[in-house]
Chains A and B, each alone.
Chain A
């Protein structure tokens, strides 16, 4: 158990809909990362937050947004969903200090039908 909790584990929704994925980081970790894993794109970095502020942005679509709340949990919002958004979405957290590794949650498997 990495200590990172993601909910829900599975999500099936229709095209055009909006979903919210939730992540609770490890106790004490200030940094949260979101990644998308699909068969054709591999593990893609989406966005990183550090203590409530956006710190780095990767290949995140404009239809996607995220935030980190004062209690440090994070949410990833996906809207106007398309079939191609079907993937495994991982949240990871780290202490945010130099050289600290990220600990991953079990992921949310999103299926868009």
Chain B
């Protein structure tokens, strides 16, 4: 069965600093991977996704993630944090089959220090 582990339930960075949110997955077959963001009192919004092809995926708001099969990782990065990036971030995985369930990690709360 697939699973997702997000390292660090809370990450705090200074405005302008690099953002790195870690995600490792477990899957016996090639996975599809997603990062979602949740702002307070809102639903989850897709940031980016990896299906096949290029392993470096660019998303909205300047975020990107790199799929590393050898490390079973899909870490999310942004070169320069902005105050508006403060939110909860979820990594998710689904398997290589139509209508497969999407499993989410436990989430990482990102705080931005002025």
A113 interface contact, C-beta 8 A: no
CA distance A42 to B103 in the complex (A): 12
* Chain A residue at minimum C-beta to C-beta distance from B100: A56
Chain B contacts for A55, CB-based, 8 A: 99, 101
B18 contacts A by Cβ under 8 Å: no
Q: Does B44 contact A (CB under 8 A)?
A: yes
Residues of B within 8 A of A90 (CB): 43-44
> Residues of B at under 8 Å CB distance from A?
32, 34, 36, 42-46, 49, 51-52, 90, 94, 96-104, 106-107
- B-contact 0/1 string along A7-28, CB 8 Å cutoff: 0000000000000000000000
**Other-chain contact of B99, A31, A42, A45, A107 (Cβ < 8 Å):** A31
Beyond A2-B45, A98-B96, whether A45 also contacts B32 by CB under 8 A is: no
Q: Within 8 Å CB of A42, what residues of B?
A: 104, 106-107
With contacts A98-B32, A99-B32 taken as known, whether A104 is within 8 angstroms of B99 at the C-beta atoms is no
Q: Is the CB of A106 within 8 A of B107?
A: no
- Chain A residues with CB under 8 Å of B107's CB are 42-43
How far does the alpha carbon of A43 sit from the alpha carbon of B32 in the complex, in Å? 18
Beta-carbon nearest neighbor of A47 in chain B: B101
**A–B pairs, 24, beta carbons within 8 Å:** A2-B45, A4-B43, A31-B99, A33-B101, A42-B106, A43-B90, A43-B104, A43-B107, A45-B103, A48-B99, A55-B99, A58-B101, A94-B102, A97-B98, A98-B32, A98-B96, A98-B98, A101-B34, A101-B49, A102-B102, A103-B46, A104-B44, A106-B42, A106-B43
Instruction: Please count how many residues in chain A sit with their CB below 8 Å of the partner chain's CB atoms.
Output: 28
Residue of B with least CB distance to A91: B43
Check A64 for interface membership: any CB of B closer than 8 A: no
* Bound CA–CA A31/B106 (angstroms): 23
Q: Which residue of B lies closest to A6 (CB)?
A: B43
Whether A45 lies near B51 (C-beta < 8 A) is no
- Ranked 3 nearest A-B pairs via Cβ: A104-B43, A99-B51, A56-B101
Q: B90–A45 contact, CB under 8 A?
A: no
How distant is B85 from chain A, measured CB to nearest CB, in Å? 19
